[in-house]
Amino acid sequence: MFLIGFPLLIIPLAIYNMIVFATPGVQWTDKVGTVEMLSGVQTPVTISDLLIMLSLFLLLVEILKAGRPEGRSGVDQFLAFVVFVGALAKVESNATSPTTAS
């Protein structure tokens, strides 16, 4: 499988950093679209909502990768840990919430 040994959570981290550093004027609360709920209420979808949804989906894929029976799940877990500690905890711009970053 091509996903072995690649931490998928680095993708939303890279997208976040590209938006923060390359386009500093982008507001995380800018409306991208709306979703109609079953009750009929129109709910706005923002850039931060899309990034969080992508991150949660990739986290689900990481969890499924870690549970496979092959012996390489330790490598995947270690690389995901390195992404978390090395990038999220050490880079100052990543210490903000997408809704408060500007």
How many angstroms separate the most distant Cα atoms in the chain?
48
In a domain? residue 4: no
Q: Are 28 and 47 in contact (CB under 8 A)?
A: yes
In a domain? residue 2: no
Residue 75 CA to residue 96 CA, distance in Å, equals 28
- Give the range of the structural domain holding residue 73, as residue numbers without chain letter: 13-95
Q: How confident is the model at residue 100 (pLDDT cuts 50, 70, 90)?
A: low
For residue 40, what is the DSSP state? S
In a domain? residue 46: yes
Whether pTM > 0.75 for this model: the answer is no
Q: In whole angstroms, how far apart are CA 90 and each of 13, 17, 33, 94?
A: 13, 13, 33, 8
In a domain? residue 6: no
Position 72 scores a pLDDT of 63
Domain count along the chain: 1
In a domain? residue 88: yes
In a domain? residue 100: no
In a domain? residue 71: yes
Q: What is the pLDDT of residues 14-72, one digit of tens each?
A: 888 888 888 878 888 889 999 898 888 898 999 888 988 898 888 888 777 777 666 56
Q: What is the pLDDT of residues 2-12, one digit of tens each?
A: 556 677 888 88
In a domain? residue 26: yes
